[in-house]
């Protein structure tokens, strides 16, 4: 069981960029890219704990990246998103998507960025067609509207993969030698903490790496 009570890392002062980081494939690829683009900068990673079933695995990836480069970490609990008691006992369906999760995450990211004087918020969101899902805060239109909303603050939300399908990110992963053990994207891990191998994310990751092995 992971210890979430504290982050046993000597953090460095944050600088210019706030990165929403989950430990999944998209956020790891994004962070590796940013670390290569800005090797001398301190990147501030924002990690959310909201009762996700793969929290232990995501937390481990987050801790690993806090020890790489000049990264600084902020971990924020948002357990109300999946807490039945918060919703007056109304059962919450067990599913991969939490309604407007990204919007909730970004509202907190905006508060942190404004407080810390950070002007750029990064998110690993990538293009998903309406046919693939009905998510309301996971597309390019959402990014554009959110940026219009926050424009007076001088802060920008940057989603460099918003026009790129997830399957295309394998090329970026290969460039930075990211292997399957470097991230955790399964939302339904086994009792042993391993990827289930049958959910949509697992199948997609396996397909991507089988067609594009890293050697």
Whether the model pTM is above 0.75: yes
Buried b (16+ CB within 10 A) or exposed e, 128-148: beeeeeebebbbeebbeebee
How many CA atoms within 13 Å lie on the side-chain side of 208?
A: 22
The H or E element containing residue 49 is strand 43-49
Q: Residue 75: beta bridge partners?
A: 47
Neighbours of 195 (CB within 10 A): 20
Longest dimension (CA), the chain: 51
Altogether, the residues listed in the chain come to a count of 215
pLDDT digits (tens, 9 = 90+) for 146-197: 999 999 999 999 999 988 888 888 889 999 999 999 999 998 899 899 999 9
Reading the chain (215 residues) residue by residue, the pLDDT tens digits are: 444 444 444 445 556 899 999 999 999 999 999 999 998 888 999 999 887 888 899 999 999 999 887 888 998 877 665 555 544 444 444 445 566 778 889 999 999 999 999 999 999 988 765 555 556 667 788 889 999 999 999 999 999 998 888 888 888 999 999 999 999 999 889 989 999 999 888 998 998 888 655 44
Strand residues in the chain grouped as ranges (E): 17-20, 43-49, 72-77, 120-122, 156-158
User: Which CATH code fits 17-211?
Assistant: 3.40.50.620
Per-residue DSSP letter, 181:
G
CB 157 within 8 A of CB 121: yes
Matching residue, tokens 């998209």: 26
Q: Locate the domains of the chain by residue range.
A: 17-211
């Amino acid at each position: 069981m992971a210890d979430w009570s504290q982050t046993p890392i000597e953090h460095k002062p944050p600088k210019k960029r706030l990165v929403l980081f989950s430990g999944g494939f998209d956020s790891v690829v994004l962070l590796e890219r940013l670390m290569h683009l800005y090797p001398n900068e301190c990147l501030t990673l924002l990690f959310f704990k909201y009762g996700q079933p793969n929290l232990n695995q995501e937390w481990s990836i987050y801790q690993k990246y806090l020890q790489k480069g000049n990264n600084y970490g902020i971990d924020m609990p948002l357990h109300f998103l999946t807490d039945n008691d918060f919703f007056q006992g109304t059962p919450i369906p067990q599913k991969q998507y939490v309604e407007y999760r990204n919007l909730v995450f970004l509202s907190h990211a905006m508060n942190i960025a404004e407080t810390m004087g950070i002007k750029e918020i990064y998110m690993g969101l990538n293009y998903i067609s309406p046919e693939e899902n009905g998510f309301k805060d996971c597309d390019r239109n959402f990014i554009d509207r959110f940026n219009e909303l926050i424009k007076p603050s001088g802060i920008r939300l940057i989603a460099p993969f918003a026009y790129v399908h997830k399957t295309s990110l394998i090329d970026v992963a290969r460039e930075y030698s990211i292997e399957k053990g470097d991230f955790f994207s399964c939302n339904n891990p086994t009792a042993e903490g391993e990827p289930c191998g049958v959910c949509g994310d697992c199948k997609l990751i396996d397909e991507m790496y089988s067609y594009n092995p890293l050697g």
